[in-house]
């Protein structure tokens, strides 16, 4: 697929486990920061109970529903805070992403100041690309979703045909969003690896996709599918283990974090693959 690059210039995520782990650590910490207000709200509500929030996972859910009942007034504020937190985390996350891209594109010793300098130079472009990608994804999703929704409504189908047709529209929206995401990743890789500006990075991303569409798609799809699978396995394992006791809680947390680490590693692997595709595609401009 992308083995046509010389090994000495072949970007690799597996060669930079520390940077990959750092990227995972940022994600995990950002997630904890986003969840902290909810954890504090619930923590205060259950603070009198000897078993703390372990009772939320008891069979029957009697305390769980009491927490929901008494905490629902704070829910809008917590949800708004979490939404803003997610956006901030995604934006701030561009810095560790840039560092990760610098690291996986570099062979040999890598001084921190080099990483910092090259990351900093790309941050402006990465920010613009992120904003453009988000905007494009939102507009595309809205157009397809509402347009398709009108079409489906005009058919006057009964469920489940009506619901399935709408789900098909959602699948198309997600596929388009993922496609934009792939192009966005390629542009980001080029922005960091080739130090291109926003426009040229986008142009190069399109070049790469046009030059090797099948390889790019396969590289992305394989890793994204595996990452989704890893997350699903983590969720299922943790749910099965439960949270009733401290050891079970620890095991379920390990299952969650392990699956997240695997997903992040696969994402880093995809970015390395994207960089290899970009390097293997000579620029036309």
Partner 1 sequence: MREIAGIVGGFGLGLASFAVGGGLIRAEPSGGERAAESGAAVAVALAPSAAAGQAPASLDDRWDDDSSLPAHAERVASYTLVARLDPKAHEVEATGTIRWTNTSRVPQQELWLHLYLNAFKNERTLYMRTPGSGFRGGGTLADWGSISVVRLRARELEADLWPPADAPIDPLGDETDVRVPLPRAVAPGESLTLEVAFRAHLPSISLRTGHFEAFHMVAQWFPKLARLEADGRWAHFPFTRFSEFYADFGAYDVTVDVPAGFVVGATGRRTSFASGGGREVSRFVQDDVHDFAFAAWDGFREKATTVDGVQLRCLYPAGYDRAADVEIEAARFGLGHLGAAYGRYPYETLTIVHPPDGADEAGGMEYPTLITTGGPWYLPWTPVRFLELITVHELAHQWFYGLVATDEHRSPFLDEGLTSYAESEAMEAWYPGSSAGELLGLRVGVPATYRIGGLSALHDGTVARGADEFATGSEYGSLVYGRTATLLTTLGRTFGPERLRRALGRYARSQRFAHPGPEALLAALRESIGPEAEAVARAVLFDGAWVDYRVDSFASSRPSRPAGIFGDPTSPSAAPAPRGGNRWFGDVLVRRRGTLALPVEVELTATDGSVQRVAWDAGQPFARLPYEGSAALASAAVDPNHAALLSSDLLDDAKGGGGVVAPRVLELGGFVAAALIHAAAP
54 to 73, contacts with partner 1 by CB under 8 A? 54, 56-70
Least distance from partner 1 to the Cβ atom of residue 129, Å: 12
How far is Cα of residue 93 from the mean position of the Cα atoms in its chain? 10
Q: Which of 8, 47, 73, 285 forms a contact with partner 1 (CB under 8 A)?
A: 47
| CB nearer to partner 1: pick between 47 and 73 | 47
Distance (Å) of CA 177 to CA 141, 251, 278? 7, 34, 21
Q: Which of 11, 234, 276, 278 forms a contact with partner 1 (CB under 8 A)?
A: 234
Rg (CA), the chain: 22
Contact 270, 220 (CB under 8 A): yes
201 near partner 1, rule: CB under 8 A: no
Angle between helices 161-193 and 94-104 (to 10 degrees): 60
Which range, of 106-114, 118-126, 208-216, 252-260, touches partner 1 by CB under 8 A? Answer: 252-260
Sign of the dihedral defined by the CA atoms of residues 59, 62, 66, 68, in that order:
positive
| CB nearer to partner 1: pick between 151 and 239 | 239
Q: Which of 9, 14, 17, 32 forms a contact with partner 1 (CB under 8 A)?
A: 32
Least distance from partner 1 to the Cβ atom of residue 43, Å: 4
Write the CB contacts of 37 (distance below 8 Å, at least 6 apart in sequence).
77, 78, 81, 82
86 near partner 1, rule: CB under 8 A: yes
# binding residues, partner 1 (CB under 8 A)? 71
| CB nearer to partner 1: pick between 114 and 161 | 161
Least distance from partner 1 to the Cβ atom of residue 282, Å: 27
34 near partner 1, rule: CB under 8 A: yes
Phi, psi of 46 (to 5 degrees): -100, 15
Distance (Å) of CA 35 to CA 3, 19, 211, 214? 41, 24, 42, 39
Q: Which residues, 10 to 29, sit near partner 1 by CB under 8 A?
A: 27-28
Distance (Å) of CA 245 to CA 56, 200, 252? 12, 54, 11
Q: Which of 243, 276, 277, 279 forms a contact with partner 1 (CB under 8 A)?
A: 243
Q: Which residues, 118 to 177, sit near partner 1 by CB under 8 A?
A: 158-163
Least distance from partner 1 to the Cβ atom of residue 283, Å: 24
45 near partner 1, rule: CB under 8 A: yes
Contact 119, 192 (CB under 8 A): yes
Least distance from partner 1 to the Cβ atom of residue 66, Å: 5
Residue-wise burial string across 105-143, b where 16 or more C-beta atoms lie within 10 A, e elsewhere? bbeeebeeeebeebbeebeebbebbbeebeebbeebbee
Q: Which of 189, 264, 273, 278 forms a contact with partner 1 (CB under 8 A)?
A: 264
């Amino acid at each position: 697929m992308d083995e046509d690059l010389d090994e000495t210039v072949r970007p690799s995520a597996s060669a930079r486990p520390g940077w990959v782990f750092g990227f995972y650590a940022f994600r995990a910490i950002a997630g904890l920061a986003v969840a902290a207000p909810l954890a504090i709200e619930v923590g205060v509500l259950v603070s009198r109970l000897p078993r703390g929030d372990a009772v939320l996972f008891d069979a029957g859910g009697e305390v769980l529903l009491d927490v929901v009942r008494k905490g629902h007034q704070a829910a809008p504020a917590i949800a708004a805070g979490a939404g803003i937190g997610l956006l901030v985390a995604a934006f701030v996350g561009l810095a560790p992403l840039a560092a990760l891209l610098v690291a996986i594109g570099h062979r040999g010793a890598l001084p921190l100041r080099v990483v910092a300098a090259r990351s900093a130079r790309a941050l402006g472009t990465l920010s613009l690309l992120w904003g453009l990608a988000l905007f494009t994804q939102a507009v595309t999703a809205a157009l397809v979703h509402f347009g398709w929704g009108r079409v489906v409504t005009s058919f006057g189908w009964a469920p489940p045909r009506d619901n399935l047709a709408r789900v098909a529209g959602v699948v198309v929206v997600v596929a388009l969003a993922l496609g934009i995401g792939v192009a966005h990743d390629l542009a980001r890789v080029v922005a960091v690896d080739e130090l291109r500006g926003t426009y040229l990075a986008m142009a190069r991303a399109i070049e790469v996709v046009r030059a090797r569409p099948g390889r790019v798609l396969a590289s992305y799809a394989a890793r994204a599918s595996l990452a989704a699978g890893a997350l699903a396995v983590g969720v299922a394992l943790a749910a099965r283990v439960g949270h009733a006791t401290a050891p079970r809680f620890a095991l379920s947390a390990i299952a969650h974090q392990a699956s997240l680490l695997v997903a992040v590693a696969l994402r880093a692997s995809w970015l390395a693959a994207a960089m290899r595709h970009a390097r293997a595609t000579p620029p036309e401009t």
